[in-house]
Amino acid sequence: MLALMLVVPVSAAAQAQPKRSRAPLSALEVERGLVLPKGWVEIEVVHASGKVRGEWTSTGTVEPVDAEWTQHRQVLRTRFGVAPRLEAFAFLPIHQAHTDGFQAAVGDAGAGVRWEVFSTDLPTTSLAIESGFSGASGPEPRALPGRYERENPLTFNGGTPSVWLAMALRRQVGPLVVGLRAGRRVLFPGVVGHSVGEMDLGDQWRASGTVLLQGGPLVLAASPSWVFRGQTRFRGQAVPDSEGHDVRLLMRAEVHVSRGFEVGFLSDLHLRGEDAMLYPIDDGTPPAVHRFGGLVRVRL
């Protein structure tokens, strides 16, 4: 009888405990998958800036500009684990430019979902499919993108809605993580510069890789990326030499203070670009600029 009296309260207390509202999340970056576990919310703020060193030409070389100007970019990113293998995400870029004066505008904001189709634990393997959309999220001074003379305002968003589909793979190898990503972005005719519904920007093929190393709370990562921009069409006619390539290298050094708070420094190096016919700042061409900055990431 005494044993029964002890067991029943313990059993009842165990049943009365609330269920966990969040799925487990590893404290180590190298052990995490591509999708945020259910119930977690992540907010990231990134700031980067740099002096424009020239403009990319149609042959992939840098042509110096007459007047130096500084480009600043902030990005607010959010992620939310909505299901065990599904997350939703959104991003909002903001641009500023210091030329003879000051210009600022919101870039192309977007949102999407990421679904993990396959995963393993220790070592972690994660395979995911991602889909999303983006488009101009605010008004701005309109000018022909790529014209950076002082009398012309800059263009900060594409004014063109787009959708994309991509696949990503992430694999842990001891303290290292190796990642690959590839996809296609389809751009629809919209408002580009002064051309309303007449400019059809070429689709983009994108690929990137990541190598990440973690030692204790310190995380180092390098991510090269490549974009091929298809041919632009104006009023249904193909624009000669309007396609182009873009190559970047993003490097990060982060300190993971805790599972829910991370800070870091980053460099975004623009290694190669082409004046791919009326691409705004949000797509990175034609201004040639290396950006440096930092990030803060909070996870709840």
pLDDT digits (tens, 9 = 90+) for 160-190: 788 999 999 999 998 999 999 999 999 887 6
- Cα(43)–Cα(248) distance, integer angstroms: 24
Q: Is 283 a residue whose pLDDT tops 90?
A: no
Q: What is the mean pLDDT of residues 271-290?
A: 64
- Which of the pair, 144 or 91, is modelled with greater confidence? 91
CA distance 204 to 228: 6
pLDDT at 100: 67
CA dihedral over 278, 279, 281, 286, signed as positive or negative: negative
CB atoms inside a 10 Å sphere around CB 74: 16
Distances (CA, A) of 167 to 2, 76, 83, 283: 60, 23, 19, 20
Q: Residue 157's pLDDT is what?
A: 62
CA distance 197 to 27: 48
What is the tens place of the pLDDT at every residue in 229-267? 888 777 778 777 778 888 999 999 999 999 999 999 999
pLDDT band at 194; cut points 50, 70, 90: very low
Distant-in-sequence, close-in-space partners of 221: CB < 8 Å, separation ≥ 6: 210, 211, 212, 213, 251, 252, 254
Backbone phi and psi for residue 227, each to the nearest 5 degrees, phi listed first: -130, 130
Average pLDDT along the chain: 81
pLDDT band at 57 (very low <50, low <70, confident <90, very high): confident
CATH number of 21-299, picked from 1.20.1090.10, 1.20.5.510, 1.20.58.1610, 2.40.160.40: 2.40.160.40
Which of 99-108, 140-149, 237-246 has the least mean pLDDT?
140-149
Res. 209: pLDDT tops 70? yes
**By C-alpha distance, which of 236, 112, 198, 215 is closest to 163?**
112
